Amino acid sequence: MARRNKLILGAFLQTPGQHTAGWRYPRANAEASLDIDAQIAFARTAERGLFHAIFIADTLPFPVNLNDETLSYSARVVDFEPITLLSALAVATNRIGLVGTVTTTYYEPYTVARQLASLDYLSKGRAGWNVVTSSNSAEAFNYGKREHPLHSLRYVRAREFVDIVKGLWDSWDDDAFLFDKASGKFFIPEKMHVLNHQSPQFNIRGPLGVARPPQGHPVIVQAGSSDAGRTAAASFADVIFTAQSDLAGAIAFYDDVRARTSAAGRDPDHIAILPGVTPVVAATRSEAEDKYAQLQDLIHPVAGVAMLSGAAGADLSKYSIDGPLPEVPPTEGDKTRQELLVAHARETGKSIRDLYRWLASGYNTVVGTPTDIADHFEHWFNSGAADGFNVRFSYLPGDLDDFVDLVVPELQRRGLYHDAYEGVTLRDNLQIPRPHSRYRRD
Amino acid sequence: MARRNKLILGAFLQTPGQHTAGWRYPRANAEASLDIDAQIAFARTAERGLFHAIFIADTLPFPVNLNDETLSYSARVVDFEPITLLSALAVATNRIGLVGTVTTTYYEPYTVARQLASLDYLSKGRAGWNVVTSSNSAEAFNYGKREHPLHSLRYVRAREFVDIVKGLWDSWDDDAFLFDKASGKFFIPEKMHVLNHQSPQFNIRGPLGVARPPQGHPVIVQAGSSDAGRTAAASFADVIFTAQSDLAGAIAFYDDVRARTSAAGRDPDHIAILPGVTPVVAATRSEAEDKYAQLQDLIHPVAGVAMLSGAAGADLSKYSIDGPLPEVPPTEGDKTRQELLVAHARETGKSIRDLYRWLASGYNTVVGTPTDIADHFEHWFNSGAADGFNVRFSYLPGDLDDFVDLVVPELQRRGLYHDAYEGVTLRDNLQIPRPHSRYRRD
């Protein structure tokens, strides 16, 4: 049973494309990653498609062992930094939510609180924060660390970090400012709050140099599906992304996270669970299958093995490309992705080549007509597996254009999707309440 | 002798105004600090006035000893975070430079390099970085530190930090990217460079996840006028701001910084030295004087004493407002500002009240007609005291509007100021060359 009567859709904009070989597809703009005009066009197309938000990922594209030759087949080595990009998109769009990924492992809470509060003002209440703990251990090398902190420790830090950021966002009551030219009084002293957070990990005084954000708190997004990730999501997230490859697993995840949310003392109807989905759509089924086959055939073996190595957490270049996935040690990076991969390899017995082809296309790829895609969405939604989807595009802009032009009208025709943005802020559009300040006096 | 044939002008946009009481002035927009529409209007007015760049300051507005009641008379407690604001302004303007202040004391070089490179792409080559070391020791309290690092240590860190950032900006040669769909090769491996910076302070591997910025390196600005500040500026800055209250001092500073720049092995014609100036302009001299008197009379004594305490580095609230400035210990904060204040107090014998009135109006305030202001600019420029000015506005938007409408045409009539932006990038417009990569092979 769906808890909402309409789907929530996020547009996961990975430039130049989600698919490893997406940039090589004829209709792809291979040079879009640092082209602001292209990025604005993508965001406006997503807004035309009434997506609730765009999501900008942020994974350091460089592996622990840099191999320039291998890396040079990857199109994901340079792009805009998410917060700066979203700040620009804030004034180039009007209604769509703007969710950026920021790591709690290598950033400071005061800076993160400030930049995201600032983004919420720039966008008039459309900011969101995808909280990550950095799965790529090579990130440590850019922050003066020789060792990446362990997965479990990263989550301990993440939970405290988010709590501090939320506290800093509450530094000023919503009605703290007087702007009173006559008396010279700019704000009401009792409505300023000093956090004074002290712990072994953090000493943060406050107050924040930004007023309480339009949304109270920007929307918090969490994507880790490991046990620690789920617990963290249940404790602080408004929106949860998840990689689910089949309906049964998605339903189990959905129920589990809702139960954990209740157990954390929160209303599970105030969260939105969005599995990722990668539609490959065309007017006919055979055209869609041709498109998909063409994408898969464009994967350069060097790029494919490198990508699979990243997901496996082990260098696979020395193994036979047509042989099976070897045993790999548990990663301290993205555990969810590794577990999914190992389970799939075990289940199917696929070769390295077939595994990277499978991985390249995304976890939940649906190839077909607009009707096929809408059927899939409707089935998952009505089965209680999803409040909506985080939609991934194999290449940009073509795949996004096709979704907006072909799939959105079909979803609307079925009454599954809104016909206009109803709210002003992202929270309004997600139907997730604006949080009270922790300093509220009842 | 002026080294350039036209003035360079920066618009120092401190919202709601540079003057402590500016926000109380009838024509001031007291609520502009977190209003993006107002900020866009300011930036577009500055662009209409052909300012080479806008400069966004960033000083933590909260003192070491928080006194909510005193603070509540200050209008500088909340505003946009500079990099997010400038990212938004990048797509709302076309030609004006965008210089943001970012501290090297509490940020990480990789993040700073990334965000500024991203801003340079968003603005198509109009980004600048005002390098500061954080003069307000209370900033430490928001970054987990109990003690603010000493002034001299902050500069040691700043110089290494800037060197790392520049190195990261050179991670990719200008022609590193192929985008070659046919071969699947995205970039040329030999054109990627790994910094591998290792020192007791920093361990930064690289490469940066952003291609080499359009300007090669965004423009580097430095504003410290202490001995350490001047040496730092001579070693790495493209643009130097300075607070100078009289012509002789400004000429001495100008000559000194140019000499230090030569001594550092750089061409002093490739830097621009911009003293701050605060014009209070009106159609007639008496109107201008009335405007200035009205601003000064609007300073609330509590706000005035608090501001002076900040500059003096000591709490002055317990001293008689009509008595002299007491002896103050040397600050570890903004040394330049304290030294200027103490020298002025000694020279003039002013009371605390008169000192805050003097301080409130800025170091180099010129009250008069457009002709008076242009005379001042021309005199300093032709005397070899300045390559231009960083113009401060007592309140926004009125004072900026007046400058653009009244003073700019007078400067243009005299042939002192450009009639259009001639270049595309900020470096072009400043006539400061695009730097070569440190990895260039001759």
A205 touches chain B (CB under 8 A): yes
> Are residues B210 and A81 in contact, defined by beta-carbon separation less than 8 angstroms?
yes
B306 touches chain A (CB under 8 A): no
A72 touches chain B (CB under 8 A): yes
Give B336-376 pLDDT, tens digit per residue.
788 889 999 999 999 999 999 988 876 799 999 999 999 99
**Per-residue model confidence (pLDDT) at position B257:** 97
A122 touches chain B (CB under 8 A): yes
A199 touches chain B (CB under 8 A): no
- For chain B, the average pLDDT equals 94
**Per-residue model confidence (pLDDT) at position B334:** 76
Answer whether residue A358 is part of any domain.
Answer: yes
* B410-422: average pLDDT: 98
Which residue is listed with tokens 């301080």? B359
Contact list in B for residue A172 (CB cut-off 8 A) is: 78
Does the beta-carbon distance from B210 to A179 stay under 8 Å?
no
A135 is in an annotated binding site: no
CA gap B50, B121 in Å, rounded? 21
**Would the pLDDT of B2 be above 60?**
no
Q: Are strands B185-187 and B177-180 parallel, antiparallel or unpaired?
A: antiparallel
Interface of B with A in 36-65 (CB under 8 A): 36, 40, 60-62
B179 touches chain A (CB under 8 A): yes
Least confident of A7-11, B148-152, B181-185: B148-152
**Would the pLDDT of A3 be above 80?**
no
Does the beta-carbon distance from A36 to B122 stay under 8 Å?
yes
Answer whether residue B346 is part of any domain.
Answer: no
Disruptive mutation site among B84, B119, B160 for chain A (greatest number of A CBs within 10 Å): B84
Query: pLDDT band at residue A2, thresholds of 50, 70 and 90?
Result: low
A363 is in an annotated binding site: no
* B124-150: average pLDDT: 87
**Would the pLDDT of B185 be above 90?**
yes
Give B222-255 pLDDT, tens digit per residue.
997 888 889 999 999 999 999 998 999 999 999 9
Contact list in B for residue A194 (CB cut-off 8 A) is: 66
Answer whether residue A107 is part of any domain.
Answer: yes
Phi, psi of B261 (to 5 degrees): -65, -45
Answer whether residue B33 is part of any domain.
Answer: yes
Disruptive mutation site among A27, A72, A165, A187 for chain B (greatest number of B CBs within 10 Å): A72
Note down the domain range covering B152: 8-171+203-289+363-430
B78 touches chain A (CB under 8 A): yes
B24 touches chain A (CB under 8 A): yes
CA gap B328, B307 in Å, rounded? 15
Burial letters A84-120, b for 16+ CB under 10 A, else e: bbbbbbbbbbebbbbbbbbbbbbbbbbbbbbbbbbbb
**Per-residue model confidence (pLDDT) at position A175:** 97
Does the beta-carbon distance from A188 to B73 stay under 8 Å?
no
A85, amino acid identity: L
Answer whether residue A2 is part of any domain.
Answer: no
Contact list in B for residue A188 (CB cut-off 8 A) is: 72
Give A13-30 pLDDT, tens digit per residue.
999 999 999 999 999 999
Query: pLDDT band at residue B1, thresholds of 50, 70 and 90?
Result: very low
Binding site of B for FMN, by residue number, is: 58, 101, 151, 155, 225-226
Give A304-350 pLDDT, tens digit per residue.
998 899 889 888 999 999 999 999 988 877 787 888 899 999 999 99
CA gap A234, A242 in Å, rounded? 13
CA gap A287, A196 in Å, rounded? 60
Answer whether residue A122 is part of any domain.
Answer: yes
Contact list in A for residue B100 (CB cut-off 8 A) is: none
**Would the pLDDT of A395 be above 80?**
yes
Give A250-307 pLDDT, tens digit per residue.
999 999 999 999 999 999 999 999 999 999 999 999 999 999 999 999 999 998 998 8
Strand partners, A192: A172
**Per-residue model confidence (pLDDT) at position A213:** 98
Tokens of A251: 């339903």
Residues above pLDDT 70, as percent of chain A: 99
- For chain A, the average pLDDT equals 94
CA gap B440, A388 in Å, rounded? 50
**Would the pLDDT of B3 be above 80?**
no
Length of chain B in residues, anyone? Answer: 442
Contact list in A for residue B192 (CB cut-off 8 A) is: 68, 71-72, 77
> Are residues A13 and A54 in contact, defined by beta-carbon separation less than 8 angstroms?
yes
Give B422-441 pLDDT, tens digit per residue.
999 999 999 999 999 999 98
Q: Smallest CA–CA separation between A391 and chain B, in Å? A: 24
Answer whether residue A79 is part of any domain.
Answer: yes
**Per-residue model confidence (pLDDT) at position B440:** 93
CA gap B178, B187 in Å, rounded? 5
**Per-residue model confidence (pLDDT) at position A1:** 47
Does the beta-carbon distance from A204 to B124 stay under 8 Å?
no
Give B247-273 pLDDT, tens digit per residue.
999 999 999 999 999 999 999 999 999
Please give the C-alpha separations between residue A48 and each of A16, A56, A120, A419, B418, in angstroms, as whole numbers: 20, 18, 21, 10, 41
Answer whether residue A440 is part of any domain.
Answer: no
Does the beta-carbon distance from A36 to B124 stay under 8 Å?
yes
CATH number of the domain at A37, please: 3.20.20.30
**Would the pLDDT of B151 be above 70?**
yes
Report the number of distinct structural domains present in chain A: 1
Query: pLDDT band at residue A190, thresholds of 50, 70 and 90?
Result: very high
Does the beta-carbon distance from A81 to B36 stay under 8 Å?
no
Give B305-325 pLDDT, tens digit per residue.
988 998 898 889 999 999 999
Q: How many CA atoms lie within 13 A of A289 on its CB side?
A: 4
CA gap A234, A434 in Å, rounded? 17
* B213-218: average pLDDT: 98
Contact list in B for residue A211 (CB cut-off 8 A) is: 34, 78
Does the beta-carbon distance from B80 to A118 stay under 8 Å?
yes
